[in-house]
Amino acid sequence: MIERLAASRCHVCGLVAAPPARWCPRHPVEMTRTSVIGAGEVVSFTTLHSPPEGFRSPLHIALVELSGGARFVCHGAETRGLRIGSRVAIEAVDNVYYFSHLGAIDRARLFWSRAGRAGERLSAIARSVAKRGWKGRSRGEG
């Protein structure tokens, strides 16, 4: 299931910003609200081995070019097998976006990589599994 992400578009240069911004960074005009598909191609990625306070090591960060045109910064659970140009899906958990090109187990693991109390992580995983189950059912019914 691919999510849609809130974004904004500049009517002068066509720049799409995700998350949405009020002003275009390149033109002094107000942007209009839109949304983009939460999937795209990896532009680059890195792994921080001494991340800043509040993040667990290793911290995977990717820059993804979304299909709607916007570039997007997000986290990931794993970079094994990841290449520049890899297709990934973007998914939000507790308002934090993760890329994922791997299976369900890796999806579960990625929530552990975000700093936080164990209870919060468990409930995030539970919410994600429940969301998937619900989405799967609704897709089945539709």
β-strand partners of 98: 75, 91
Residue number with CB closer to other proteins (56 or 135): 56
Q: How far is the CB of 90 from other proteins (least distance, A)?
A: 12
Applying CB under 8 A, does 22 fall inside the site for other proteins? no
Q: How far is the CB of 137 from other proteins (least distance, A)?
A: 32
Look at residue 86 and give its three-state secondary structure. coil
> What is the C-alpha separation between 64 and 87, in angstroms, rounded?
9
> What is the C-alpha separation between 12 and 102, in angstroms, rounded?
38
Q: Which among 120, 91, 80, 84 is positioned nearest to 4, based on CA atoms? A: 91
Which residue among 3, 35, 37, 47 contacts other proteins (CB under 8 A)? 47
Given the rule CB under 8 A, which residues bind other proteins?
15, 17-19, 25-26, 43-55, 59, 61, 63, 70-75, 79, 83-84, 96
